[in-house]
A and B are shown apart, each in its own frame.
Chain A
């Protein structure tokens, strides 16, 4: 090797070493999440997501969308499950929207049109925001889970094709809802038209879902099948411990009630506030209860009714705090039930007479009811003493107002 050649090699080596030294001393800056977020946007998500390392440092300067995407990628790389990632993204979106809503509310002072437009904007951007953060596969996985939770409450087994088809139907329905909301906000459709169009779209959706799953599986998915109804009834009557024969009779009674109730709802759908509707429902409920009572016997049915009564449950819960015992709780419960039934029967009789065209002296009726109310109040006060009476009243077990009692039935 000549001296000239070796000199050239040495010089070239110096140059290379100098460049390496400069690169090591001044490393290139971290890649901006914005750029890498776009690159990884189409990352497919399998069970184990493909993690694309976009850069080790969070960028405060990046857009919120890029920050979310970066965070999801980093967390996904740590093996955080998709459902947790989705909830994190949702929480971040909610926080940002809440902040925006607070600003808008202050600016427009709660103007309903402006707030409705903002809500629409939030609803319409949700899917795109979630997809941008989770990637297509992550978004679909999360969104399909949402659909299954909502549209398949009975948790029936669905094939992959069925799931995909049901998801498409659900998304179409969701999109239709957004379109209708937008039409209303923009004044292109009024609320009655929107309601009607929504009912129609929903009917089509359920029809298609039924066609996809078949009547039986559809009913199960909506928990309106015989099995679900029986399970619910069994839970309601668990304390009564009905025999198999009794249970079948109860179930039959309930099914008949359901059918009749559906007919009534349909018949009065345009006037659900009418007295006639309320009376028919009352009669229907009464007939059902009478049938339950004949199946289970008066005592068992009475005990069951008591257990399911919120006022009774409240008195039992605070029994010692209110200075009550089992016998006084039973006594108060019986008095209130007697009062309630007395008022109801008396009013029904008066209405029936009026309906037959007979004259009804409503002033006299109201006076009698007032008297009955005062008697009941007095009797409870005497029995409980003022302190316990007040406590029950303060806690809404019953309320005495304008000469009428109301008993907690909620």
Chain B
């Protein structure tokens, strides 16, 4: 090949390459200018949800050559749409877009809350107005598909304490049910605000709405998945019991027996709660619950044996745990901790027994001398205090008192001690 020919070929390549470079550059520039500023070429692939919606709704000023700023857009709704559309174009996931939109929406209401100056009625009215407009504002910002995706995820999360697998049809049904419940709550809040329903009626209506919702949810999921979603299933309950028994070595068969006792206790407790729904503070309800607790404790003791059960009770006790935690700081050791625990248990039992005797006397119509009662209470309180003080020394005893592990009042009655 001659030099002249090679030169000619090279010149042809010069022309071809120049044309190619210009064509590619024109093509790239054209594509970039068709997208909002700052958008990368792969952005569209990353997050499709509601993008067409949002892009279509983007205010026209976004396409102007001068890029607008947040404060340039006076309407909060337009501002959010503009902001979300730009972020979505940059591939920001829908959940994060929803966070941005929600926060911006909430900030928009700040001044209205401030204007209430702490007036509870005004605050309730503003809160309700905000709650009622939230869905529309979020939908406007995220677009229909983006809103639905975010809202469904939120509603399902609220409806289930533990997430269970659901088909898309089931998810959609639960979402509809939850939205119905939400709408009912808003209506009831509105009634409360307007004074068209009183608190008792509203509470009853709330209970009814929730009961309907959970019953329908059970229909959708079936018994097993429903229980799991509400953490009412055996696995979850067994996990709780296992955590409680963590420091006590139990065999499998012991565990199964305790689990059965727990299930029976829970069932009976539910029935009592249902039975005394109107008045859970009644003396009769308390008596029944006490009897139930005692029966469960006896079963635990039978299964675990007295020593292990006692140790289990110690570990469940907040005062005991506190003493173990601050053992060194309070100058205690295992034997002293046991001593305090036993003394306080005994003291508490004396109080309960004495109280029961007094109630018995009163029930028989016998008079009770208040001074005698006070003297007795003071006496047992002093005995317990002196016993603890001499065994622990003043310093440790004071530390326990200061930290309310043991607490005595002047009248001698035990107050809010954790034992």
- Tell me which residues from 103 to 146 in chain A have a Cβ below 8 Å from any Cβ of chain B: 108-109, 111, 113
Residues of B within 8 A of A4 (CB): 3
A88–B103 touching, CB < 8 Å? yes
Check A58/B93 contact, CB under 8 A, given A10-B11, A17-B17.
yes
A57–B329 touching, CB < 8 Å? no
**CB of A317 closer than 8 Å to a CB of B:** yes
Which of B25, B40, B104, B107 sits near A57, CB closer than 8 Å?
Answer: B40
B7–A14 touching, CB < 8 Å? no
**CB of A395 closer than 8 Å to a CB of B:** yes
B7–A10 touching, CB < 8 Å? yes
- Interface residues of chain A, those whose CB is within 8 Å of chain B, are 3-4, 6-7, 10-11, 13-14, 17-18, 20-21, 24-25, 27, 30, 53, 55-58, 60, 67, 71, 74-75, 77-81, 83-84, 87-88, 91-92, 95, 108-109, 111, 113, 187-192, 271, 273-274, 317-318, 321-322, 360-363, 391, 394-396, 401-402
- Complex alpha-carbon distance, A11 and B8, angstroms: 11
Residues of A within 8 A of B7 (CB): 3, 6-7, 10
B86–A78 touching, CB < 8 Å? yes
For residue B283, which residue of chain A has the nearest CB? A402
**How far does the Cβ of B244 sit from chain A's closest Cβ, in whole Å?**
8
Residues of A within 8 A of B100 (CB): 71, 75, 88
Residues of A within 8 A of B287 (CB): none
**How far does the Cβ of B4 sit from chain A's closest Cβ, in whole Å?**
8
Can you add 16 more A-B contacts, CB < 8 Å, to A4-B3, A58-B90, A80-B83? A7-B6, A10-B11, A13-B14, A14-B17, A55-B40, A71-B87, A71-B92, A71-B96, A71-B100, A83-B107, A87-B107, A321-B198, A361-B367, A362-B368, A363-B367, A395-B199
Interface segment, one of B68-76, B211-219, B294-302, B384-392: B68-76
Check A24/B70 contact, CB under 8 A, given A3-B3, A75-B83, A318-B195.
no
B39–A56 touching, CB < 8 Å? yes
B38–A84 touching, CB < 8 Å? no
A192–B196 touching, CB < 8 Å? no
Check A187/B326 contact, CB under 8 A, given A7-B3, A80-B70, A109-B243.
yes
- Complex alpha-carbon distance, A111 and B247, angstroms: 13
A14–B14 touching, CB < 8 Å? yes
**CB of B354 closer than 8 Å to a CB of A:** no
Q: Which of A60, A84, A111 has the most CB of B within 10 A?
A: A84
Residues of B within 8 A of A25 (CB): 24
A79–B402 touching, CB < 8 Å? no
B107–A190 touching, CB < 8 Å? no
B3–A391 touching, CB < 8 Å? no
A192–B70 touching, CB < 8 Å? no
- Chain B interface residue number, banded: 35 or more
- Complex alpha-carbon distance, A83 and B20, angstroms: 50
- Complex alpha-carbon distance, A256 and B413, angstroms: 35
- Complex alpha-carbon distance, A352 and B97, angstroms: 68
Residues of A within 8 A of B6 (CB): 7
**CB of B21 closer than 8 Å to a CB of A:** yes
B83–A57 touching, CB < 8 Å? no
A108–B243 touching, CB < 8 Å? yes
Check A109/B90 contact, CB under 8 A, given A30-B40, A78-B83, A88-B100.
no
A21–B24 touching, CB < 8 Å? yes
A394–B200 touching, CB < 8 Å? yes
- Complex alpha-carbon distance, A401 and B200, angstroms: 17
**How far does the Cβ of A29 sit from chain B's closest Cβ, in whole Å?**
9
For residue B200, which residue of chain A has the nearest CB? A394
30 A/B residue pairs, CB under 8 Å, sorted by A: A3-B7, A10-B7, A11-B10, A14-B13, A17-B17, A21-B20, A24-B21, A27-B28, A30-B42, A55-B40, A57-B40, A57-B42, A57-B90, A58-B93, A60-B91, A60-B93, A71-B96, A74-B38, A80-B104, A84-B103, A91-B99, A91-B103, A92-B96, A111-B243, A190-B326, A192-B403, A274-B410, A317-B195, A362-B370, A395-B198
The 6 closest A-B pairs by CB, nearest first: A79-B69, A17-B17, A109-B243, A394-B200, A192-B402, A79-B70
B24–A87 touching, CB < 8 Å? no
**CB of B320 closer than 8 Å to a CB of A:** no
**CB of B409 closer than 8 Å to a CB of A:** yes
**How far does the Cβ of B143 sit from chain A's closest Cβ, in whole Å?**
17
B195–A321 touching, CB < 8 Å? yes
- Complex alpha-carbon distance, A4 and B4, angstroms: 9
Residues of B within 8 A of A55 (CB): 40
**CB of B253 closer than 8 Å to a CB of A:** no
**How far does the Cβ of B319 sit from chain A's closest Cβ, in whole Å?**
12
Q: Which of A3, A95, A108, A394 has the most CB of B within 10 A?
A: A394
**CB of B168 closer than 8 Å to a CB of A:** no
**How far does the Cβ of A5 sit from chain B's closest Cβ, in whole Å?**
11
Which of B99, B196, B325 sits near A92, CB closer than 8 Å?
Answer: B99
**CB of B330 closer than 8 Å to a CB of A:** yes
Check A78/B410 contact, CB under 8 A, given A10-B7, A190-B330, A317-B195.
no
- Complex alpha-carbon distance, A113 and B197, angstroms: 44
- Complex alpha-carbon distance, A188 and B325, angstroms: 9
Q: Which of B24, B91, B103 has the most CB of A within 10 A?
A: B103
**How far does the Cβ of B403 sit from chain A's closest Cβ, in whole Å?**
5
Check A395/B200 contact, CB under 8 A, given A7-B7, A87-B103, A362-B370.
yes
Check A273/B409 contact, CB under 8 A, given A109-B243, A190-B330, A360-B370.
yes
**How far does the Cβ of A90 sit from chain B's closest Cβ, in whole Å?**
8
Check A7/B10 contact, CB under 8 A, given A30-B40, A56-B38.
yes
Residues of B within 8 A of A91 (CB): 99, 102-103
For residue A6, which residue of chain B has the nearest CB? B7
Q: Which of A14, A391, A396 has the most CB of B within 10 A?
A: A14
Would you give the 0/1 interface string for B39-64, flagging 1 where the beta carbon is closer than 8 Å to chain A?
11111001000000000000000000
A21–B243 touching, CB < 8 Å? no
Check A10/B38 contact, CB under 8 A, given A88-B100, A187-B325, A395-B200.
no
Residues of B within 8 A of A71 (CB): 87, 92, 96, 100
**How far does the Cβ of B28 sit from chain A's closest Cβ, in whole Å?**
6
Residues of B within 8 A of A13 (CB): 14, 17
**How far does the Cβ of B323 sit from chain A's closest Cβ, in whole Å?**
10
- Complex alpha-carbon distance, A84 and B326, angstroms: 44
Check A78/B70 contact, CB under 8 A, given A30-B40, A192-B399, A192-B403.
yes
Residues of A within 8 A of B28 (CB): 24, 27
Q: Which of A3, A58, A92, A395 has the most CB of B within 10 A?
A: A58
Residues of A within 8 A of B239 (CB): 109
Residues of B within 8 A of A58 (CB): 46, 87, 90-93, 96
**How far does the Cβ of A394 sit from chain B's closest Cβ, in whole Å?**
4
B38–A53 touching, CB < 8 Å? yes
Residues of B within 8 A of A18 (CB): 17
A191–B403 touching, CB < 8 Å? yes
**CB of B106 closer than 8 Å to a CB of A:** yes
**CB of B167 closer than 8 Å to a CB of A:** no
B43–A78 touching, CB < 8 Å? no
